[in-house]
Amino acid sequence: MTTVTKWALAVAVLVVALIVALLPRGGADTAATPSADLAPARSAAALQPCPPASPAAPVKQLDGVRADCLGDGASVDVGRALAGAPVLVNVWASWCQPCKTELPVLQDYAKQPGAVRVLGVQVQSPAEDGLNLLARLGVHLPSVFDGDGQSGPVRTALKVPASLPASYLVTAAGAVRFIANPRTFGNTDEVRVAVEGAS
d(CA 140, CA 121): 13
Assess if residue 112 is contained within a domain.
yes
Tally of CB atoms within 10 A around 122: 30
CATH number of the domain that residue 45 is part of: 3.40.30.10
d(CA 69, CA 138): 18
Assess if residue 32 is contained within a domain.
no
Assess if residue 67 is contained within a domain.
yes
The predicted structure's pLDDT at residue 10 = 53
CA-nearest of 111, 64, 70, 110 to 83 is: 64
Q: What is the CA radius of gyration of the chain?
A: 22
The predicted structure's pLDDT at residue 199 = 82
Assess if residue 121 is contained within a domain.
yes
Assess if residue 47 is contained within a domain.
yes
Instruction: Check if the beta carbon of residue 125 is closer than 8 Å to that of residue 149.
Output: no
The predicted structure's pLDDT at residue 27 = 36
Domains of the chain: total: 1
The predicted structure's pLDDT at residue 68 = 97
Assess if residue 17 is contained within a domain.
no
Assess if residue 30 is contained within a domain.
no
Assess if residue 159 is contained within a domain.
yes
**Residue spans of the chain under pLDDT 50:** 13-36
Per the DSSP assignment, residues forming a β-bridge with 77 are 66
The predicted structure's pLDDT at residue 113 = 96
Domain span at 132: 39-198
